[in-house]
Amino acid sequence: MQCVPINSVKFDKRSIEGIERIKNINGFSSLLTKVIGIGTFANIFLGNKVPELTFNIYQTDWAMIHQSMMALPSIQRKIIEDEARYQILDHQLDYKQRQFWEGISYGCKIK
Amino acid sequence: MAVKLSKLLFVILLFSNLSCAVNAKDFEVSRSEIISHAKEKVNHSQKELDETIAKCRDNLPFIEKQKINNYDLSNEELFTALFYLSDKAITECEKITWGSYIFELSVLRSIEKHYSSPVTKTTDHEKLLLNNYWRKIKLELEYLNIDQPKRALIENDDLFKKPFDAVMTAKKLGI
């Protein structure tokens, strides 16, 4: 099982809208603050400078985001997975953003 | 005679008042009972829905490359078709339970409105169903842009009629 690190991913408008929708899921932000606190995913999902920044995502980041997601009620995880699925569809040819959304949807299942 | 009639009227009036009082009491009890019963029905259908969603979405198989025929589709068309057909199969799998959940929820809200009670807010389940519905329609229109004979070939393939993992299938196909 291996999570894929992503170097220098920059999000476009559609990804940012998706990130915003995920941020609006009840309890997601407070859970993330509790579980992650700081780090790349905290900057992506809790910060407000996502449009300007590029991000490096490491294996430890993936492990933490999935720990947070597992703490969410199943239906909220499904909302996030559904969002990620449509983002993958939107980013078929944008390798890094697609990898990011695949990671959100599948975590360490994708090799 | 007049006295007897007035007594009779008095008795009738008394009973009709008592009957109104009983109805009023029934109304009070019924209101809370009706709302709580409607909520129970929503909870029951939500439980069934959760089971159906898990059955239709969790641990889906991907379709192996060697099983996929040549449908004469470009990579982009195949990518769209995989997502559309996967969506369609999942929707078919969940449709009936979504129907009863949305029905019970609408009934609950109409009862809450009727009794001027606070109306149930948008649920997470509704968000799951509706947040991305515009994208489902967009995907369908993109899919319908593919030539009909090509669509017919892939649509008639039994591989794509049950829920499958479109993301993993696309990944395994390298598209």
The answer to which of A1-5, A43-47, A99-103, B69-73 has the lowest mean pLDDT is A1-5
**Candidate from A79, A86, A92 with C-beta closest to B135:** A86
Closest Cα in chain B to A27: B124
Cα dihedral: B98, B88, A80, B128 (round 10): -20
Report which of residues B29 and B157 the model is more confident about: B157
Question: Distance between CA atoms of B67 and B44, rounded to whole angstroms?
Answer: 40
Closest Cα in chain B to A26: B124
User: For an interface test with B, which of A89, A90, A101, A102 has the most B Cβ atoms less than 10 Å from its Cβ?
Assistant: A89
CB contact under 8 A, B83 and A73: no
Contacts of A79 in chain B (CB under 8 A): 124, 127-128, 131
- Which ranges in A36-73 belong to alpha helices (H)? 40-46, 59-70
Helix (H) or strand (E) holding A8: strand A6-10
- Which ranges in chain A belong to alpha helices (H)? 13-23, 28-35, 40-46, 59-70, 74-90, 95-106
- Which ranges in B115-147 belong to alpha helices (H)? 124-130, 133-144
The domain locations on chain B are 31-173
- Name which of A85, A91, A87, A90 is nearest A105 in CA terms: A85
The answer to which of A35-39, A98-102, B123-127 has the lowest mean pLDDT is A35-39
Cβ contact B126:A78 at 8 Å: no
User: Which tokens sit at B22?
Assistant: 């009983």
pLDDT attached to residue B1: 53
Instruction: Classify A6 as helix, strand or coil.
Output: strand
User: For an interface test with B, which of A28, A72, A78 has the most B Cβ atoms less than 10 Å from its Cβ?
Assistant: A78
User: Which tokens sit at A100?
Assistant: 């990011």
A111: pLDDT confidence band, cut at 50, 70 and 90?
A: very low
pLDDT attached to residue B2: 55
Closest Cα in chain B to A95: B175
User: What is the per-residue pLDDT across A25-80, written as a single tens digit (0 to 9) for each?
Assistant: 888 888 888 877 778 888 898 887 777 789 999 888 888 888 888 888 999 999 99
3-state helix vs strand vs coil in chain B, percent to 5: 80, 0, 20
Q: Half-sphere exposure of residue A42, counting CA atoms within 13 Å on the CB side?
A: 12
Cβ contact B139:B87 at 8 Å: yes
| ipTM score assigned to the predicted complex | 0.86
Question: Distance between CA atoms of B166 and A59, rounded to whole angstroms?
Answer: 25
CB contact under 8 A, B167 and A82: no
Q: Does A34 touch chain B (CB under 8 A)?
A: no
Q: Does A92 touch chain B (CB under 8 A)?
A: yes
Contacts of B135 in chain A (CB under 8 A): 86, 89
Q: Does A63 touch chain B (CB under 8 A)?
A: no
User: Which tokens sit at B26?
Assistant: 């029934």
User: What is the per-residue pLDDT across B2-56, written as a single tens digit (0 to 9) for each?
Assistant: 556 566 555 554 455 545 444 555 555 589 999 999 999 999 999 999 999 999 9
Query: With b meaning 16 or more CB within 10 Å and e meaning fewer, what string describes A84-102?
Result: bbbbbbbbbebebbbbbbb
